[in-house]
């Protein structure tokens, strides 16, 4: 019995050693080494997003716009902003659900770092995910382009957030410095908030909303508006205390920064129940007509109603046929994936490609037009040059989103 066990163990150890050698390259065969290398015949990119969890609806919209783009790219269909004559490198994708969770994003980033065939990443969606997972991607030399992460400091190399991802992180949407200014100006010019009035500003206790609400609160104060500054974690969905306080301080308006649209609906409902009759505006992640549908509320968003862009009608119709009605949140992700596709194709012009070359060419991508109806390019820090600004929508009685101020 001992002899048999020893023999079996020896065989197992030999097999394990062979497997390790094949994967780490010590005695890898040419075929296995080629399988691990980046390919211009079938270039691999990653699509990421919060496909499950409280922001799942928005994440799936992002995933579906990314999928649609890849099908158009590989199918040689017309795409706004792709230069005539560009030879398209065929793309293959992996998809990962990051759940809007920093720890999950870091785990996903670690997996991508180890996959030497992976060239670039669409993501991460949430600012907090980029803070956690971004440095891992950057150390691996991977370019990553987000269609929704707006925290301003992500592109500031001297900040703790930007230091770890500088030069590798890009976004096709504007940052929160623009949003804070747009929202405060709109509330004062259009919603009747005046000097001496009180507004309640509420963050969701995470990396995206805290700096946005901090800046907006500062701008309100500079304009002579009194600010009741509040914070409530996204996991806490009882807003009755905040609603009661908004009434008690006689707030004329409430600004709520959240990545969870259902929380904006709950907050609005509870404000109404408490007797609040002021104005309510939600930001970014509240832009989800399937979950936030409180009549009279406002939303500021980096996205736009892509169904209203005349040149996109056939693409939107195709999206609807394949995936159902878009909530519009994910449209910028089409553009983010397009950046990766164009950079990879330019890199593959000579038949060879690497992460470093793709990163270099991401910086150089220029679209004279895009699905968003605007040109897209990048500033040296990775922020979008051109593109869209923040638009303001009002929720109508039929729960539809009506554009009241274009970005």
* Token pair recorded at residue 347: 């890199």
pLDDT in tens, 199-223: 999 999 999 999 999 999 999 999 9
Dist CA 206 CA 233 (whole Å): 7
Which pTM was predicted? 0.86
CATH 3.40.50.2300 fits 177-301, yes or no: yes
pLDDT in tens, 83-113: 989 999 999 999 999 999 999 999 999 999 9
CATH 3.40.50.2300 fits 43-174+307-386, yes or no: yes
43-174+307-386 matches 177-301 in fold: yes
Domain boundaries, the chain: 2-36, 43-174+307-386, 177-301
* Token pair recorded at residue 359: 């990163």
What is the structure's pLDDT at 366?
Answer: 97
In this prediction, residue 20 has a pLDDT band, given cuts at 50, 70 and 90, of: very low
Dist CA 233 CA 132 (whole Å): 18
**The Cα angle at residue 257 between residues 103 and 338, in degrees rounded to 5:** 65
Taking residues 289-309, what's their average pLDDT? Answer: 92
Residue 21, pLDDT above cutoff 60:
no
What is the structure's pLDDT at 15?
Answer: 41
What is the structure's pLDDT at 22?
Answer: 35
Residue 337, pLDDT above cutoff 60:
yes
Taking residues 335-346, what's their average pLDDT? Answer: 98
Dist CA 170 CA 120 (whole Å): 11
Residue 11, pLDDT above cutoff 50:
no
* Token pair recorded at residue 219: 């701008």
């Amino acid at each position: 019995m001992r002899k048999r066990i020893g023999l079996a163990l020896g065989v197992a150890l030999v097999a394990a050693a062979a497997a390790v050698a094949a994967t780490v390259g010590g005695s890898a065969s040419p075929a296995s080494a080629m399988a691990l290398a980046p390919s211009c015949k079938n270039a691999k990119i990653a699509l990421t997003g919060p496909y499950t969890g409280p922001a799942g609806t928005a994440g799936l919209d992002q995933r579906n716009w990314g999928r649609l783009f890849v099908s158009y790219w590989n199918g040689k269909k017309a795409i706004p902003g792709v230069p005539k004559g560009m030879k398209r490198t065929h793309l293959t994708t992996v998809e990962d659900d990051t759940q809007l969770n920093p720890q999950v994003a870091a785990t996903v980033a670690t997996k991508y770092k180890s996959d030497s065939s992976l060239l670039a990443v669409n993501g991460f969606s949430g600012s907090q995910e980029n803070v956690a997972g971004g440095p891992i991607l950057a150390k691996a030399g991977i370019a990553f382009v987000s269609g929704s992460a707006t925290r301003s400091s992500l592109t500031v190399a001297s900040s703790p957030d930007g230091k770890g991802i500088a030069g590798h992180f890009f976004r096709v949407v504007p940052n929160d410095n623009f949003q804070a200014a747009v929202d405060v100006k709109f509330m004062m010019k259009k919603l009747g908030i005046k000097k001496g009035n009180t507004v309640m500003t509420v963050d969701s206790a995470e990396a995206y909303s805290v700096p946005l609400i901090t800046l907006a609160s500062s701008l309100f104060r500079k304009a002579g508006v009194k600010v009741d500054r509040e914070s409530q974690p996204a996991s806490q969905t009882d807003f009755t205390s905040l609603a009661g306080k908004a009434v008690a301080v006689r707030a004329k308006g409430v600004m709520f920064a959240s990545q969870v649209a259902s929380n904006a609906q709950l907050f609005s409902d509870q404000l109404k129940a408490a007797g609040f009759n002021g104005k309510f505006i939600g930001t970014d992640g509240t832009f989800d007509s399937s979950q936030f549908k409180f009549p009279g509320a406002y939303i500021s968003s980096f996205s736009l109603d892509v169904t209203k862009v005349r040149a996109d009608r056939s693409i939107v119709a195709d999206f609807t046929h394949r995936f159902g009605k878009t909530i519009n949140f994910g449209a910028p992700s089409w553009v983010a994936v397009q950046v990766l596709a164009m950079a990879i194709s330019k890199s593959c012009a000579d038949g060879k490609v690497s992460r470093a070359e793709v990163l270099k060419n991401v910086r150089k991508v220029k679209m004279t037009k895009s699905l968003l109806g605007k040109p897209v390019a990048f500033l040296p820090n990775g922020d979008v040059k051109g593109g869209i600004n923040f638009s303001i929508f009002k929720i109508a009685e039929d729960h539809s989103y009506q554009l009241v101020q274009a970005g």
